[in-house]
Structure 1
Amino acid sequence: MVSPSPSIRIGVDVGGTNTDSVLLDEALRSSPNRGIIAHFKSPTTPDVTTGIEYAVKAVLADSKVDPKDVASLTIGTTHFINAIVEQDVRRLASVGVIRLSSNFTRATPPFVDFPPALKEIMCGHYGWVSGGLQIDGSQIRPLKEDEIVAECKILKEKGLKNVVISGVYSPIDEFFKQEEVARKIVLRELGEDVNVVCSHEIANLGLLERENASILNASILTFAKRTIKAFRAAMRRLNLHCPLFLTQNDGTLVDAESASRLPIRTFSSGPTNSMRGAAYLSGLGEADSEKVGMVVVDIGGTTADVGMLLPSGFPRQASAYVTVAGVRINYSMPAIESIGLGGGSIVRVLSDGKVTVGPDSVGHYLTTAARVFGGETLTATDITVAAGDADVGNSSLVKSVEADTVVKAKAAMKKLLEDVVDLMKTSPEPVPVLLVGGGSIISPVELAGVSKVIRPPFHDVANAVGAAIAKVGGTVDTIENVSDKSVAETVKEVTNKAIQKAIDAGARPDSVRVAEVDTIPLQYVANQVRIVVKVAGDLDISRLAKQEVLIDGSDETDDDSTDHIEAKKQQAAFTKSTAKSVGDISSYRPNIIGKEWHLTETDVEWLADGCYVLGCAGGGNPYPEFLQLRDMIREGHKVRVVDQQSLKDDAVVCWGGHMGSPAVSVERLGADECVEAMRDLLEYMRLEDFDAAMGLEIGGGNGLQPLIIGSSRYFNRPVVDADLMGRAYPTYYQTTICVYEEGQLIPAAISSGDGRSMVMTKANDDVIVDVALRAACSEMGSRVGLAARPLTGAKVRSRAVLNTVSFAWRIGRAIALANKTNTVAKVADAIIAEAGGPETAKKLFVGKIVGVEQKLFKGHSYGQTIIEALSKDEEEQDGQTEFSGKLRIPFKNENILAELELPDGAKQMLATVPDLICVLDSQNGRALGVPDYRYGLRVTVIGIAASPRWTDTPRGLELGGPRAFGYDIDYTPLGVYKQPRSVIEEYGE
C-alpha cells in the first residue's frame, strides 16, 4: 500500500442548504491561502451521499491531487440529527431499555419526558433490574443475571434489535463495570447482531438525560451504519483508500466505525466546524503565547449562529442540559445562540419611522426575491449593497432606497449582532469576532465590545475547513475520592487517562495538549470531587496509514426504499394522535370539587415554575418531581390540595421533604425516600393515620414533594396550602416552627430509599438535629427523605406560611401566560401583582450578569453574582432606564441580599433575607438557580416581602435574617406582606 501524504486532507460539511468541500495541505498553512488548494460549494442533495461524492470529486479534479495522496476524508453532517428532528419513521427504530436500578428511579421511567410522537416511534420496552452505584462508587445492588435474562426474553419476543443499558452512576463505574457485564449477557441471549448501547459511553452524570441521549443514539444506529456504509462505497468509487472520519460536537474527530456506533457524537458538528475553521483561516491564537478566546459569527441567509471559541481552541459547551427534538439530554454540545438575522432578512419601514430587520427572511429565495436581484422584497443584502459595503447583484436596483432607511437598518443589524456577541462573551473584555458564512457581508466592520472584526479568506467554506483540520480528542468525566491524596495529584492521574484515551483514538502522542480541566466538589459529600478533563492532539496519519482501510464493496446509498410520502403520513398520524393542546391560559379554571383542589397536568407544570422562583436561586430544580406528578395524574391518580381553614384544630398534619446533595438527585431521580421516611415516622410514633401532608419548603423541588406523598398512589391525603419557610432556606432548622418553639423537629425519620433508615429521638437544640441528620445522610448515599414530628391543624394556622401552594401556582401561571402572549418583558410586573402589588414586591434591577463567583464548603454553595445595568443601546424594552450601576447578590444556596452600587460609588441595600430575592431569566421569565448563573444572561431581579412569621419576632430574624448568614446588618423590610389569595377560595363554588 502506498503511503499518503500526511498533510493532504479533504473536509466536507453537509448543511441544510449547501454541501461544502475543501482539499487542504496543512504543510502550507503558513501560506496566504492557509493551505487551501481547492474548495467547492454545491446545493445539498436529497441523497446526502451523492452530494458528498460530487463535492469530493470536484476538489480532486480542481486540485489535480492523486486520490492515493489523500491522508484522510472527514465529513461533518447533520444527517443523523435531522432524522430525529424530522421524526423520520423510515430512519428511526424502536428501542428497548434495561435500567440497572433496583430501588431508585422507578417513579421516573425511561421515555418519561419524550414528546409523545417521538415516544410512540422509539419506545419499544423498558424494565428495571438489580444494579446501580452510590455516589461513592459502591454498589447499590449487585447485578442479577437471571433478571437480565428475563428482560432479554421480553426484548426477543418484541423483536427489538436496539437496546440501551443505563445504570445509576455508571460513568464512575470503573471497578464493577455493571453496564459492560450486562451488555455481554444481552449479546449472549439475543445474538451479536443486536445493537447494545451502554449509557456511560454516551454522556456524563445525569441519569435521565444520559439515558435519553443513549435512546436517541440507539434509535438511529441501523440508519447510521447504513449511511457510513454508503460513505465508504462512495470512497471506493472515488478511488480513495484513506481513513474516513466524522466530526464530533466538540470539534474533534471520530473514526467511521465509532461514528456508526455513536452517531449522537456528530449531532451538532456543523456549528463547531464553522468555529474551528474560522479560527484556522484567521490564524488567530495559534501560538501558545497568543491563545485568546474569540467569538465566531456564522451568518447565512436566514439566521446568524454565534459561538464562543475558548483559548483552548475548542467551543464553549452548552449548559448541563440541552434539548434535541424536544428531548432533554446532557451530551456535550457547543453553546450556540441563534438570531433571525441573515442576508435574506426582510427590512421593513414602520409607520412611526422605525426600521426593523428580520426575524423573517426570504431564505433561499434571496437570489430572486431581493431587490438587487430584480425582486420586490427589501432585504439586509439590499441595505448592504445600497450602503456601498458590498458588490452583489445589480446595485442600481437599490438606488431608490432612502438614505435614512439604510442608516436605520444598518444600526438595527449592528445592535442585533452586538447583543448576541455580548451574550456569548465570558467577560466584559473586548474579544475578536470572526465572520464566516455567505451572509457575513451584512455585518459592520466595527462592533461595540469587540476588539476587531475579521472576515478570513475562504470564509464561505469555513465549515469544511473545520472538518479537514479537526483534532483527536479524549475526555474523562469521573468522581474521585481525595481523602488520601491531593486534588492536584488526582487531577494528574485523570489527565493521564484522558491523554491515553486520545492516543488510543489516533492522536499523535507528542501533540496531545490539555484543553480543559474542571474540578467540582460535591455538595454534602466529604472528599468526593467530580473531575472533568478534556485533551486533544493532531491526527497521527503515519500510524493510521499502516492500517488496512476496509471499504465495503457494495454501492448502497443512504436513501430508503420506503415511500417518502407514505412515511410522512405515518409521521403525521403519530403527531395527531398523541399531541395535547395547552388551551387558553387566561380562561383556565382549576378543578375545585367541594373544598378540595384536584390538580391537573397544567397545575403541576405551573407549580413547578412557581416553586423554582420561590426557591430564591436554591432548592433544586423541580423538574424530576414535576415529571413524577405529571405521570401520576396521567395514570389517573388524584393529587389534592386543601386550605388551612379545612383543618380541625387537632388534625394531624405530617410534613417533610428531601435532604442531601443535588448531585445524587440527578442520578437517582424520583424514588420513594420521602414516602418511606413518613412511614417510618408514623410507625415509631404509633400513628395509624394522619389527616393531611405539608411541605418543609415551597421553594425548589421540595415544594412538590408533599403532593407526591399525599397522592392517591401513596397516602391519599390532601396537601395543605402552606409550608414552613415560604421560600427555600439551606438548613432544616430555618423553619417557621423553630421560630416559635424548640424541639418540634424531633422525632425525625430519614430514609435512603433502599432499605436504610433511622429515627432521631432526642436533641438539646434544633441546630444539632440538622447537623446530625446531615452526617447520617452522607453515610446513606448522600440523599434521604425526611419526615418530622407532625403538627396539629391549630399549629399549622399559627406557625406555617399560608397559601404558598396557591402563590407558586399563580407565579407559574403568570410565566406561562407571558410566554404564550409574547409579553415576557412584563412577567416581573405580573409576578409582583400576584404577590400583592408594589407595596409587597418590587422590581429591584434589570441588567446582565457580568460576574459569578462560586465555591462549596460543608455541602453548601457560597458565592455571589454581579449584575450590571443595561446601557441605553442594550435596552430592549421601555422602562429600564431607571436602573444604573451594579447589583451584588451573595448566596448560600439561596440569595441572601441585593446590594446596589451606584455609578458614583455610593451603596444601597435593596433587600435582604428573609425577604425573597428572585432572579429571572429576562428571555423567558423563568427562575434562575445558582447553577444557572453565567456571564451575559439578561436578568430581572425581583424582591418579595417575607411572611411576618419571619419578620415580626427577634427569633425569626435571628434564624432567617442577615445575621444568620454572617452579615452584621439590620433587616429593613422590603414592603408590607400580603397573604396570597387561596386558589380554592377564588375558584371554589
Structure 2
Amino acid sequence: MAKTPYLRIGVDVGGTNTDGVILDPSRSTEEGRGIVAWHKASTTGNPSDGINNAITTMFEKSNTDPDEVASVTIGTTHFINAVVEMDRARLAQVAVIRLCGPFSKGVPPCVDWPAQLRDLVCGYYCFLQGGLEVDGNLIADIDEEEIRQHCEIIKSKGIKSVVIAGVFSPVDILHKQEQRAADVVRAVYPGVDIVLSQDVANLGFLERENAAILNASILPFARKTLQSFQSAISRLKLKCPVFITQNDGTILRASDAARLPIRTFSSGPTNSMRGAAFLTQNEGQEAMMVVDIGGTTTDVGLLLANGFPRQAAAFSEISGVRTNFSYPDVRSIGLGGGSIVRKDKNGILTIGPESVGYQLPTKAIVFGGATPTATDYTVLGDPESSIGDRNLVLNASLESDLLEFKKTVKLMLERVIDTMKTSADDIPVLLVGGGAVLAPNELAGASRVVKPQWSGVANAIGAATARVSGIIDTIESTEAKSAAEVMKDISARAIARAVDNGAKEETVEVVEMDHVPLQYIANKSRFIIKAVGDFDFSRTNIGDGAVEVDSIAEDDMTEFAKQPRESSSENQKALDSPDIDIENYKPTIKGREWIISETDLSWISTGCYILGTGGGGSPYGHMLRLREIMRNGGVVRVISPDDLKDDDLVACGGGKGSPTVSIEKLPGDEMMQSQNELYKYMNTKPDAVIALEIGGGNGLQGMILGASTNMNIPTVDGDWMGRAYPVAWQTTPVVFETKPVFLPSTICDGNGNVMFMTQATSELMVEKAFRAALSQMGSHVACAKGPVSGRNTKSWVVEHTISLSWRIGRAVALSRQSNQTDTVAESIISQVGGDAAARILFKGKIVGVQRTLRMGHVYGEVIIEGGVDGKEKLKIPFKNENILAVKEDSNGLETVLASVPDLICVIDTQNGEAIGTPEYRYGLLVTVLGIVASEKWTSTTRGLEIGGPKGFGMDDIEYKSLGTFQKPKSVIDEYSVGA
C-alpha cells in the first residue's frame, strides 16, 4: 500500500551554505518542533550537487522514505546576492525599449540607480513611439519599423536581455503594445530574453521599469540555477512537486520563478524570519528584530508579534534601486562568513561586501586557502571553535587586527539594526543563519540577544513552512454590480486559484485586497486580490512547473563563476549621493540668491510631498528630471519674494490633472512648451517664476522652468497655495482679486495639442474650460498661467514655502540618519512653527480605503485604526488631497479634528516619507499631522469659502483653526553672509 506523503522538505541555497530540514508539520507544537532532520553544507558551484547532498544526508540521518515527502520548497539568496555584490558574471546587460511617445525623456532608464550598478546593467535604451493614456486611448501606436531598427542595434551590441516598458501598460487590455513589441523583437532577434514590465509590477512607471530591468538582468543566471535545483530533485527520484519561496513567504512554481526571479529576491531573509517565527512560537508576544547572518550578506528585518515580517512601505529599494512590488522591509549589508577582510589604502580594516561565497571551504585561511575571511577572524577569536584548522589562522599573522575586526562587525550590526528600528527603545534581537557565530552576545540597542535552537537552519525551516497563495489581478466592469460585489466574486476566484496551486481549501483566507478605479473610464476598476492557505499534503496532482530549458551538465554553471568587481570611476562615485553632515550642512547663498544643490533638492522634494496633503503627485520623477538638468550644467536659483521689483513679471506653471497619471506618464517637454507658447503670444519675457502650488510634484516645477536653458530665471521662494489643492482656482490671488488674474493662460498635452484661454469671467470659468478639455488631452497637461507683477506677488504669495519644504525634508533626513524615525513627526512640527502651529492628530494602521471618480478627481476615504487597544478610528475624506480628519471613538462618536485649509498630512511612520492618496493601502503604519494654514487663507471670509470646507461642498462643516500660523523662516535670510 502506497504511503501517504506528509513530510515537507525545506532547502535554502545561500551564496555560501546550503541548509536543509525535513519537517513533520503535525508535530510542530512539540518540543522538537517536528524537525525530523537537518543539515548544513557548503553551497556547490553547481547548486544541484549541494541540494542533492543535503537531502541525501538528511534521508540517511532520519531513515526517511522519499515516498513520504509531500513537497520540496527551495529558497535562495543567489539572485539578490548577485545584485548586492554587483557580480558582473551573474548580471546580464539589459537593453530597455521604452514605449512612451514624447514623454519621459528627461528621466532616462536607470537614472536613479547607484552609478556602478547602472554601468554594469544598463547597456542600451531608446524612447520609441507607443504608450497609453489613462483612459486606454493611445499616446501613439507602436512603430514596428522603429522597433526593428533599434533591435538591430541591440543585436549588434550583443545584449541578450531586453525590457519593454510602456506607459500605462498594466491597464493595456486592448492594444497589447508590450506584447506586440515583444513579437517584433523576437522576430528580429530570436532567442533573446524579453521581460514585459506589466508582468513584473503595477502602476508607477519608473519603479516598474526598474524592477523589470533587474529581473531581466538576472534571467540567464536564474534559469540555469532553477534548472539545477530541479535536476537535484530528479536525481533523488522524488515524485513530489518542487516550489520556490517568494518575497512574501509564499511559494511559487519553479517555472514561474524562472520567468520572474525578482519575486524571489527577498525569499532568503523572509524564510529566515518565518523560520524564526516558527522556532519562537511560544514567545510571540512582542516584536523582534531578526538578524540573519549568512555566508555573503546579513539581512535584517522586523518580525511583528503576529509572526510575519513587517512589509515595506509604498516603495522598496533593492541595492539602491527603487521598485514598487510586494517586498518585506529588509535591509541587507555585505557581512557574512565568507566576507573578504582587507585593509584599504588608508590602513582601515574593511569587511565585505565581496565574498568568497561557496568557495569558503577552499579559499578561507582556516581551510587551507589564502583569502582572509570573516570566518577566519571568528575562529581566531574563539579558542573553542571546531571550524577548520585554527592553527592555520594562528600562523597567518591576523592577531593584530582581531580587535578591530570585532569592533567593525559589532558596529556594522548595530548600525543596520538601528536603521530598522522606529523607536529608540531597545528591542530583542534574534540571531539566525549559519554566520550567527560572527555576532557578539551583546549589541547596543538590543534588550537581549537570542539564538534559538536550530537557528542555523531557520531559513530552511521557513521554506518548509511556507504557505500557498493565489493572486488575481484583473480589470472588471462595475456597471452591473457594485465594487463590493465584484470584489467578493474575485476573492472567490483568488481562493480557488490558491487551492489549484496546492492550498488546503479550508485554510485559505484573503489577506490583501486592492481596488483602483480607472480614471476617465466609466465603470471600470482594477482589482488585486491575494489569498493564502496551508499546503494540502493529501494532494498528489500538483504540477511541478518544470523550468523549460535543456538539461544542463555538471559544469554549465561555471560561466557564472564570480569575477573580480571593478572599482567605479571617480565620476561615477561623484554621481552617487555622498554622506552629508546634516546638522552642520549650510546651503550656498550668493548675494541674495540661493543656489540649489542636490542635497537641497532631495530635502525640498521630501518636504513638497508632505505639504501635498496626499495630493499633488509624487515629486520623485520631477526631482530626477531637475537633478539631470543640474548635472548637465543647469543652475537652479531661488530668490526671496521680498527682493522682487514691483514691475517684475513673475511667470507661473504647473501640471494639471490626476496624481495617478503623473506617476505613470512622466512629463515630456509640455511644461516648457506651454511657457514658450504663452510668452510668444504675449511678446514679452518673464523676470522670475513661481510654483503654482508647493505641494507634490508641482512644488518643483518653478525650479525646473527657471533652470531650463531658454528661460534661465530665478524661482521665487513661495507659491500660490502653501500646500496642494485639486483645482487651480483655489489659489491666494483668487482670494484677493475677484477678476481673473492669470490671463492669458494656456495648456499643452505634450502630444501636439495646445489650448489658449484669453478672456474669461472668472478663474473658476478658466478652470471649468480647461477641465472639460483635460480628459480629452490625456488627463494630465502642463499649464502656463499669465504673469503677475512683482508688487502683486509680494501681496498674494504664501511666503518662503521652498524654505519650509527644505526644513521639513532636512528634519526627515536627520531623523533617519540618527535612527529616530519614531519622533520624525515631532521633528517636522518643530520646523513648521512648533506645537502652536502643528500637532500629531493620530497614529495607527490603515485598515480601509475607498476610492471613486467624479469629474476626473479621485474622491474617497481612508480609515486608520489606532488609539488605546486599537478601538479608535480616524477617517480622512479626500478629493485628490485630504479634506477632513474625523476621529471616531469606541462608541462611534465622531469629532472633526482638522479641516482644510489647514494641512492634513499622512506620513509613513517607518521612514517619515509622505504617503499620497494613490498610495493608501491596507496595513501601512502611518502618522497623521495637522499643520495650520497660512493667514492668506484664514484671514478673510472669501479665503475660507474658496479653500475651506465650503470649497469642497461641505457647507455643514465649520472651519476651526488648529492653532496659530507661523510664517516660515527664509533660508536666504538665515544663511546669507552676515545674517
Q: TM-score range by the shorter chain?
A: 0.7 to 0.9
Partner-residue secondary structure (3-state), 2:317? strand
Show the counterpart of 2:268: 270
The answer as to 2:551 corresponding to 1:552 is yes
How far off its partner does 1:752 sit?
A: 2.5
The answer as to 2:935 corresponding to 1:948 is yes
Show the counterpart of 2:446: none
Partner-residue secondary structure (3-state), 2:463? helix
Show the counterpart of 1:109: 108
**2:735·2:946 contact (CA, 8 Å) conserved in 1?**
yes
Show the counterpart of 1:661: 658
Show the counterpart of 2:365: none
TM-score by length of 1: 0.76
How far off its partner does 1:218 sit?
A: 1.2
After TM superposition, the structure 1 stretch with the greater mean CA deviation from structure 2, 567-576 or 661-670, is: 567-576
How far off its partner does 1:78 sit?
A: 1.2
Letter in 2 for 1:329: T
For 2:382 and 2:482, how far apart are their aligned partners in 1? 63
After TM superposition, the structure 1 stretch with the greater mean CA deviation from structure 2, 581-590 or 701-710, is: 581-590
Letter in 2 for 1:603: D
Per-residue displacement from partner, 1:735-781 (whole Å, max 9, x unpaired)?
10111123235544333222234334555554454444334323332
Among residues 320, 323, 334, which one is paired with 2:317 in the alignment?
A: 323
Q: 1:863 to 1:198 in 2, by over 3 A?
A: closer
Show the counterpart of 1:813: 810
**1:120·1:574 contact (CA, 8 Å) conserved in 2?**
no
Per-residue displacement from partner, 1:611-662 (whole Å, max 9, x unpaired)?
1232234333211111110111111123333333444433332213122222
Aligned residues: 882
The answer as to 2:219 corresponding to 1:221 is yes
After TM superposition, the structure 1 stretch with the greater mean CA deviation from structure 2, 704-713 or 502-511, is: 502-511
Show the counterpart of 1:793: 790
Structure 1 segment 875-914 matched on structure 2, within 5 A: 892-896=879-883, 913-914=900-901
Show the counterpart of 1:254: 252
Show the counterpart of 1:856: 851
The answer as to 2:777 corresponding to 1:783 is no
Q: 1:699 to 1:418 in 2, by over 3 A?
A: closer
Per-residue displacement from partner, 1:119-161 (whole Å, max 9, x unpaired)?
1111101001111122222322111111111111221222211
For 1:680 and 1:484, how far apart are their aligned partners in 2? 45
Letter in 2 for 1:170: S
Show the counterpart of 1:983: 972
Among residues 935, 949, 974, which one is paired with 2:963 in the alignment?
A: 974
For 2:431 and 2:597, how far apart are their aligned partners in 1? 49
How far off its partner does 1:984 sit?
A: 6.7
Partner-residue secondary structure (3-state), 1:518? strand
Show the counterpart of 2:529: 533
After TM superposition, the structure 1 stretch with the greater mean CA deviation from structure 2, 712-721 or 23-32, is: 23-32
**2:607·2:804 contact (CA, 8 Å) conserved in 1?**
yes
Among residues 191, 194, 208, which one is paired with 1:196 in the alignment?
A: 194
How far off its partner does 1:937 sit?
A: 7.4
**1:603·1:809 contact (CA, 8 Å) conserved in 2?**
yes
Structure 1 segment 417-436 matched on structure 2, within 5 A: none
Show the counterpart of 1:409: none
For 1:593 and 1:297, how far apart are their aligned partners in 2? 47
Q: 1:756 to 1:988 in 2, by over 3 A?
A: farther
Show the counterpart of 1:773: 770
For 2:22 and 2:495, how far apart are their aligned partners in 1? 29
For 2:545 and 2:874, how far apart are their aligned partners in 1? 61
How far off its partner does 1:666 sit?
A: 1.9
**2:617·2:663 contact (CA, 8 Å) conserved in 1?**
no
Unmatched 5+ stretches in structure 1: 285-291, 340-361, 375-412, 425-432, 444-453, 875-883
How far off its partner does 1:114 sit?
A: 0.6
Q: 1:4 to 1:695 in 2, by over 3 A?
A: farther
How far off its partner does 1:669 sit?
A: 2.0
Show the counterpart of 1:725: 721
**1:80·1:220 contact (CA, 8 Å) conserved in 2?**
yes
**1:525·1:661 contact (CA, 8 Å) conserved in 2?**
no
Q: 1:712 to 1:281 in 2, by over 3 A?
A: closer
The answer as to 2:839 corresponding to 1:844 is yes
Show the counterpart of 1:670: 667
For 2:41 and 2:219, how far apart are their aligned partners in 1? 28
The answer as to 2:74 corresponding to 1:87 is no
Structure 1 segment 388-537 matched on structure 2, within 5 A: 463-468=459-464, 470=466, 473-483=469-479, 486-487=482-483, 490-491=486-487, 516-522=512-518, 526-535=522-531
**1:590·1:987 contact (CA, 8 Å) conserved in 2?**
no
TM-score by length of 2: 0.77
**2:509·2:531 contact (CA, 8 Å) conserved in 1?**
yes
Partner-residue secondary structure (3-state), 1:670? coil
For 2:836 and 2:212, how far apart are their aligned partners in 1? 45
How far off its partner does 1:86 sit?
A: 1.8
Letter in 2 for 1:624: G
Letter in 2 for 1:677: S
**1:523·1:662 contact (CA, 8 Å) conserved in 2?**
no
How far off its partner does 1:969 sit?
A: 2.8
How far off its partner does 1:704 sit?
A: 0.5
For 1:58 and 1:488, how far apart are their aligned partners in 2? 52
Letter in 1 for 2:58: V
Among residues 709, 728, 735, which one is paired with 2:705 in the alignment?
A: 709
For 1:853 and 1:834, how far apart are their aligned partners in 2? 31
For 2:888 and 2:496, how far apart are their aligned partners in 1? 50
**2:241·2:542 contact (CA, 8 Å) conserved in 1?**
no
Show the counterpart of 1:619: 616
Show the counterpart of 2:348: none
For 2:831 and 2:845, how far apart are their aligned partners in 1? 30
Show the counterpart of 1:739: 735
Q: 1:572 to 1:759 in 2, by over 3 A?
A: closer
After TM superposition, the structure 1 stretch with the greater mean CA deviation from structure 2, 841-850 or 783-792, is: 841-850
Letter in 2 for 1:96: A
Letter in 2 for 1:732: A
For 1:791 and 1:573, how far apart are their aligned partners in 2? 45
For 1:849 and 1:570, how far apart are their aligned partners in 2? 45
Letter in 1 for 2:714: P
Show the counterpart of 2:947: 960
After TM superposition, the structure 1 stretch with the greater mean CA deviation from structure 2, 921-930 or 773-782, is: 921-930
Partner-residue secondary structure (3-state), 2:937? helix
Per-residue displacement from partner, 1:586-630 (whole Å, max 9, x unpaired)?
554444455543322222112112212322343332111111101
Q: 1:510 to 1:951 in 2, by over 3 A?
A: closer
Letter in 1 for 2:169: S
Q: 1:547 to 1:708 in 2, by over 3 A?
A: closer
**2:468·2:498 contact (CA, 8 Å) conserved in 1?**
yes
Cα RMSD after superposing both structures: 5.1
For 2:200 and 2:906, how far apart are their aligned partners in 1? 33
For 1:554 and 1:621, how far apart are their aligned partners in 2? 49
Show the counterpart of 1:332: 326
Q: 1:911 to 1:137 in 2, by over 3 A?
A: closer
Show the counterpart of 1:695: 691
Letter in 1 for 2:840: F
Unmatched 5+ stretches in structure 2: 334-373, 387-416, 442-449
**1:233·1:555 contact (CA, 8 Å) conserved in 2?**
no
**1:169·1:205 contact (CA, 8 Å) conserved in 2?**
yes
Letter in 1 for 2:248: D
Identical aligned residues as a percent? 44
Show the counterpart of 2:630: 633
For 2:111 and 2:541, how far apart are their aligned partners in 1? 47
**1:845·1:887 contact (CA, 8 Å) conserved in 2?**
no
For 2:897 and 2:573, how far apart are their aligned partners in 1? 51
**1:849·1:865 contact (CA, 8 Å) conserved in 2?**
no
Q: 1:199 to 1:22 in 2, by over 3 A?
A: same
After TM superposition, the structure 1 stretch with the greater mean CA deviation from structure 2, 970-979 or 887-896, is: 887-896
For 2:824 and 2:552, how far apart are their aligned partners in 1? 61
**2:717·2:801 contact (CA, 8 Å) conserved in 1?**
yes
For 1:680 and 1:504, how far apart are their aligned partners in 2? 58
Show the counterpart of 2:155: 156
